[in-house]
Amino acid sequence: MTGYKTVFGSLDSFEKGRIEIIDDDPKHYAFSNVFEVASKSKAYEKVAVALNQQYVLEVIRAEGESGWYVCDHDETVLCMDGEVRVEFVKPDETIHKVGTDGSQSVAGVPSGNPMGNVLLRRGHQALLPKHSAYRYSATKTSVLLQQTILGPLTKQRWASICLS
């Protein structure tokens, strides 16, 4: 009987993903490694690693404190490595462009009611509620995977992260 061993990657220790293709051309498949993408990204840059119609998974390298973001729809975020605090504010007024998909940057600190915060560690997931402002902070470089809709902050670098 063949044994299997699960190995969890991290930003400090990862092996780039790969696949064995039977009777097919590997260039027909797009695979990426979230840790490799994060290791080459700027802090809080949102780099697409998966796309399904309008939905996207973005890898985020969390370092220090991010700016504030808001979205016209719910998003989710999963901590893949490290520890990241997510702070929430319910804005007093509309601070985003209504009808725009994906995360939007907020100028300055939004005024409104603090909604608390969530501390994410590896494997923890949080909901980023629509119309609520949020920002990330990490004391150590960490990796997030955010599910959203393709938007103005999404960086698409398929040529540099896909198998060719």
Return d(Cα 103, Cα 63) in angstroms, integer: 18
Q: Three-class SS of residue 134?
A: strand
Q: Domain holding 63: CATH number?
A: 2.60.120.10
- Domain total of the chain: 1
Q: What domain range is 127 assigned to?
A: 43-155
Question: Sorting pLDDT into bands at 50, 70 and 90, what band is 88?
Answer: very high
pTM: 0.82
The answer to whether position 37 is within a domain reads no
The answer to whether position 10 is within a domain reads no
The answer to whether position 15 is within a domain reads no
Q: What is the pLDDT of residues 43-59, one digit of tens each?
A: 999 999 988 889 999 99
**In contact, 81 and 143? CB cutoff 8 Å:** yes
The answer to whether position 26 is within a domain reads no
The gap from C-alpha 163 to its chain's centroid, in whole angstroms, comes to: 21
Count CB neighbours of 5 within 10 A.
4
The answer to whether position 162 is within a domain reads no
**In contact, 47 and 160? CB cutoff 8 Å:** no
The per-residue pLDDT for 25 is: 56
Per-residue pLDDT for 34 more than 70?
yes
Average pLDDT over residues 144-156: 95
The gap from C-alpha 88 to its chain's centroid, in whole angstroms, comes to: 17
Q: Three-class SS of residue 161?
A: helix
**Kind and range of the H or E element at 136?**
strand 133-149
